[in-house]
Chain A
Amino acid sequence: MMAIKRGSLYVVLILIALLLFFPIIYAFLVSFMSTKEVLMGHLIPKSFSLTNYIDAFQALPLLHSLINSMLVSIITTIGQIIVCSLAAYAFVFIEFRGRQFLFFLFVSTMMIPWEASIIPNFVTVQKLGWINHYAALTIPFFATAFGTFLLRQHFKTIPKELHEASRMAGLGHLSFFLKVVMPVSKTSLVTLGIYCFLTTWNSYLWPLLVTTDERSRTAQIGLRQLHAQENVTQWGVVMAGVVIVAIPTLLVLFLGQKHLQKGLMDGAVK
């Protein structure tokens, strides 16, 4: 009875896993096919040749856009961790007048979708001369209500006696923040970091708007161009591009899933 149940569970799990993972496998398989194979609708490529990958890198400055994406994601992640943890610190460890109000103000920004502010933001970024600069792709995302909220939830679990003991030892706010709060909160900083990296790497609309030349494009926009260029004929090359663009985030996700799962939950519901 137990064995039957377990066996059928495995069958269900495997079938669902195949179904869910299929698009990724499919992209991977097609990326090795020659144009002829693609046209014939094969599922498995005859040989795993890397021609499509070479073509993808030659068709566009794909490597450059990958580096752009990597730098933009890393800068945004670091910036967001710094800015959000500073804000979260103030909300948890400093009792000041207007704390409630400011926190409400922060949370209310969660209700304002980024898309709703995109038009003036585009103009602002234009005026600042940030078009085609990393600044446009990173700085606006340093402050997020989500990140502040997530870290605040975690900071609140730090016993207040730790703060008091530090005060008695003569630590000021900044050194308490740097020497105690940040090291103690490593897990949630990593959670926020992973989440931020994924979302920044994957963002699409904003990079599309604020980058116009080849050299400042991110990988997602590179993919869009690749698809536009090669549309009808070269599906293998396009899929090679898909695989290249997806690998870094898939890796980050696989390595950081445990963190993400635990940390996001804490921030979301508690």
Chain B
Amino acid sequence: MAMENPTTTGQVPSLNMPYRTFWEKTRRFQVALLFLLPSLILFSVFVFYPLFRTIYLSFFLTNQKGLPTVFVGFDNFIQLFQSADFLQSVKATFLFILYTVPASVVISLFLALLANEKLKGIHFFRTIFASSLGVSVAAASVTWLFIFNPTMGVLNRIISLFGIQEINWLADPHWALLAVSMTTIWLNLGFSFLIIFGGLQNIDQSLYESSSIDGAGYFYQLRRITIPMLSPTLFFIMTVSLINAFQTFGQIDLLTGGGPGQTTNLMVYAIYKDAFVNFNFGKASAEVVILFLLILIVTLLQFKFVEKKVHYQ
């Protein structure tokens, strides 16, 4: 070697950080903690503590103030599973998910594909398609309440044009959940559309160009390029819609109040009534725990079975 070592290892202080105290060594951690502190405090108070508190409360009977009185073990849960009302609310929730989630995703995908065409004035249509994101649950529910109105509402007027007799949409046990689902789908479309459309726009145009050169038609491209490339987005929006569906409240409160005959008594609405109308925090907490577990299980199942079909780049 052309170079010779001018110093031997012995002369060089081998310890790089001779006088660093613990305080100095964890310096970066402290700085990071400072930046994270607001979030950590808020998460602890409003997310983590309540989660454990809810689980705790679900094992107790509670008094009018919501304080735990008697430890009852799994009694709250056992009672829930023996209660027809609760089982009905679980059933209604799953039916509601079945009615709303696939329909929202499919319709928004269709809308996004339409909005992705290169046409004059397409921006206007994109805005319209996204518009329901700008309408609150309350405003939408009140509007649909009127649309569903048996005598004055526009829906019955339209179907009467076809000679179908009036339907009492929100008071008829056969129709109430469907009516709520319709409102929900409409409400969801804006957000789902925006996300899926964003996903479409992110697909590299050169993929289409090269497959066009190979002579692929629109539907071939849709099947072989668009859907696979879009699958992470579709998966994301499915997960989000699902979790949102589990948490539905406003539509129920304004449209049906859980009726008729409990058919639209979705879980969160049931929890609300148990907790804040009947002040039975113990029972409501048990319901929350079950809701949480259901969301967890369904999401995990979705990750396990659907995510495999997702093509990440």
Q: Interface on A for B, CB 8 Å cutoff?
A: 6, 9-10, 12-13, 16-17, 20-21, 23-24, 26-27, 30, 38-39, 41, 43, 82-84, 86-87, 89-90, 94-99, 102, 105-106, 109, 111-124, 139-140, 142-143, 148, 173, 177, 198, 201-202, 204-205, 208-209, 220-221, 223-224, 227, 235, 238-239, 241-242, 245-246, 249-254, 257, 260-262, 264-265, 268-269
Which chain B residues numbered 119 to 134 have a C-beta less than 8 Å away from chain A? Answer: 119, 122, 125-134
A23 / chain B contacts, CB cutoff of 8 Å: 135, 140, 143-144, 147, 186
Provide the bound-state CA to CA distance between A140 and B42, in Å: 6
CB distance A84 to B275 under 8 Å?
no
CB distance A239 to B146 under 8 Å?
yes
CB distance A24 to B198 under 8 Å?
no
Segment touching A, from B1-9, B98-106, B168-176, B285-293: B285-293
CB distance B288 to A115 under 8 Å?
yes
Interface contacts (Cβ under 8 Å), in number, total 265
Chain A interface mostly helix, strand, loop or mixed?
helix
Find the B residue at minimum CB distance from A124. B45
Cβ 8 A contact of A41, one of B28, B117, B157? B157
CB distance A265 to B47 under 8 Å?
no
Segment touching A, from B48-56, B69-77, B86-94: B48-56
Smallest beta-carbon distance A212→chain B, Å: 11
Segment touching A, from B15-23, B189-197, B205-213, B219-227: B189-197
Q: Interface on B for A, CB 8 Å cutoff?
A: 26, 28-29, 31-33, 35-36, 38-39, 42-43, 45-51, 53-54, 57, 66, 111, 114, 117, 119, 122, 125-140, 142-147, 149, 151-154, 157, 186, 189-190, 194-195, 197-199, 201-202, 232-233, 236, 243, 246-247, 249-250, 253-254, 268, 271-272, 275-276, 281, 284-285, 288, 291-292, 295-296, 299
CB distance A20 to B128 under 8 Å?
yes
Known: A124-B45, A204-B138, A252-B134. A113 touches B50 (CB 8 A): no
Chain B interface mostly helix, strand, loop or mixed?
helix
Find the B residue at minimum CB distance from A261. B198
CB distance B119 to A262 under 8 Å?
no
CB distance B32 to A268 under 8 Å?
no
Known: A13-B125, A117-B54, A121-B46. A24 touches B138 (CB 8 A): no
Cβ 8 A contact of B247, one of A115, A148, A264? A115
